[in-house]
Structures are given as structure tokens and as C-alpha cells.
Amino acid sequence: MAREKERLPGITESRRGLNFEALFRQVGLVVLLAIIISALSGLFSNGYFSSAQKENNAHTLAIHYERFGRLQTEFELHFSTRSLPAESYIFSINGELNTMFEPGAISPQPDSMFSEGKTLYLIYRNVKTQGDFSVRMFVTPTGMGKSVNSIKVNSEPEIRFWQFIYP
């Protein structure tokens, strides 16, 4: 009792702050474990929840990408097309890719590449493959938030995909 009335000079205790600290000590380990498990499972970048693959309705184009990424951390967009009866492939990526991402290395290098508005075009001429044609494009996010993009090849149906970039 006497100890409760004792106060140290220059220190003002906040009952609300002390209650918050006591509560966080009780549930802090659970919160920390939840953050670690969600990070390991890919909620914040590469992993089970982040890795995604989509295919268009005609099954002629597929994309493999990460749904979640970190700002200024490079990641890969891998898209491939089934053998199409065309001599050239024109990949068009539409959406916020031009504004929220900075393109890096592209393999194989396109014969020509340009952007028009919100659409980035990758043009491959005289493609002589017997099977799938695959492109790996590395991009670095320069903006935070959700971005919605779509990709298509030639006049085939498009694939819409979204990504969320954390700070």
C-alpha cells in the first residue's frame, strides 16, 4: 500500500500505458509468431500465398508472377505462350506496369519494345520455335499499393492479374 503511493521524482506513470504494456506482454509472442509464419508462407513476398500462375481462356498464354512484393525489390514476371500459328509474337502488357514498375532485364531480348500510354509492347519477329515461347522479365516496383495489369499476345484473350507492393 505504501509502495503504491510512493512516486519517483520526475516520472509520471500512465495507467493506460502500463495496461497496454501488460496486455502486449501477454499476447506479444502470439502476434510475433503470426507475423513470422505469414512472412514465411509468402504473405509479404515470395512463398505459398504470393506465388501465382494464371492462364487465359484459350490456354495459349500463361503467366507466373508474385502477388506480393516489396518496394525497390526486383522480382520476375515469367510469361509463356503455346505454339501459335504466327511468325511474330506481340506481347502487350497493359495497366500500371509503366507507372508503378521499372523494367529491368528481359530474356530473350525483344526485337523491338515501346510503350504507348499505359501499354508496354514487346515484339518478337521471326519466331521459329517448335514448342512454347517463354519470356522472363524482371521488374522493380517504384510505387506502393495495388496495381492491376493485363497481358496478351497477338489477338489472343488477355490475362488480368493484380499485385500488391508493400513499403
106 versus 51: the higher-pLDDT residue is 106
Domains of the chain, CATH where assigned: 14-43 (no CATH), 51-166 (2.60.40.680)
> Order of strands, edge to edge, in the sheet holding 61-66?
51-55, 61-66, 75-81, 133-141, 101-107
- Average pLDDT of the chain is 87
CA distance 59 to 81: 9
Q: Can you give the pTM of this predicted structure? A: 0.73
**Which position has the grid cell 519477329?**
125
Q: What is the pLDDT of residue 156?
A: 92
The two beta strands, 145-153 and 75-81, are: unpaired
pLDDT digits over 16-35, tens only? Answer: 988 988 888 889 888 888 88
Yes or no: say if 95 and 147 are a contact pair by the CB < 8 Å rule.
Answer: yes
Where residue 36 falls (left for φ over 0; alpha for ψ -120 to 50; beta otherwise) is alpha
